[in-house]
Amino acid sequence: QIAQKSTDELGNLIEHFFEYSYLITSNIKPNLEKINISNLIVECVLSYIAVLEEKNININMDEPPPIYVLGDKDMLIRIVDNLLNNCAKHSLGDIDIKIEFLQNAKITFTNPINQDTNINVDKLFHRFYTSDSTRNKSTGLGLSIVEFLVKQMDGNVGAYLNKTDHTLSIFFEIPLFK
């Protein structure tokens, strides 16, 4: 069982590393188009319901108005999937998703974490960074992929740790469609 677990983790690491290497070296250009980010996020959440239910995690999200961004649909789906996956792996409870817009659309994923978790938010998007040195089935590449894809669409990413209520928030911003 230990050997199988290690083999599965190595396979996962190789798969993520291959994807990351491909994205970095392939010079892919985003296919920018008008996308309703509110609908896209709801669709991604719905496709993730089985995984979340298995872990007894609910999503809290106010129904947002239609917010249109200039983005690549496939990249945005990958970003939201990676963030949902990150939350599902590390959350100790329900996930809050907030969609806001001013100059950009800002999507924030917040989840409760163990109060003893030592997260360096400055390194969170660095390749191979993980707050758990035993990797805990995490390659540390998912958030690096998120950052890369967001930047391909002229967006920004960030994170903040709230030590008072023991939550981690990860957000990305994408330009609005004008």
The pLDDT of residue 133 is 42
Q: Give the long-range contacts of residues 77-83, CB within 8 A, separation 24 or more.
A: 77/40, 77/44, 78/145, 78/149, 79/146, 79/149, 79/150, 79/172, 80/40, 80/41, 80/44, 80/45, 80/107, 81/44, 81/48, 82/142, 82/143, 82/145, 82/146, 83/109, 83/146, 83/170, 83/172
pLDDT at 141: 74
Q: In which residue are the tokens 């030590």 written?
A: 163
Q: What is the pLDDT of residue 157?
A: 96
Each residue of 19-70: pLDDT tens digit?
Answer: 666 667 677 889 999 999 999 999 999 999 998 999 999 999 998 899 999 9
Q: Indicate left, alpha or beta for 56 from its phi (over 0: left) and psi (-120 to 50: alpha).
A: left
Q: Is 27 left (phi over 0), alpha (psi -120 to 50) or beta?
A: left
Residues shown for the chain: 178
Largest CA distance in the chain: 54
Write out pLDDT tens, residues 123-138.
777 665 555 543 445 5
> Residue 169's beta-bridge partner residues?
110, 160
Instruction: Report the Cα–Cα distance between both ends of the chain, in Å, rounded.
Output: 54
Query: Per residue in 61-97, pLDDT tens?
Result: 998 899 999 999 999 999 999 999 889 888 999 999 9
pLDDT digits (tens, 9 = 90+) for 98-116: 999 989 999 999 999 987 7
What's residue 100's pLDDT?
Answer: 94
| Residue 84 · residue 53 · CB < 8 Å | no
What is the token pair recorded at 27?
């010079």
Q: Based on DSSP, count helices (H) and strands (E) in the chain, helices before strands.
A: 5, 7
- C-alpha to C-alpha distance for 97 and 46, rounded to whole angstroms: 13
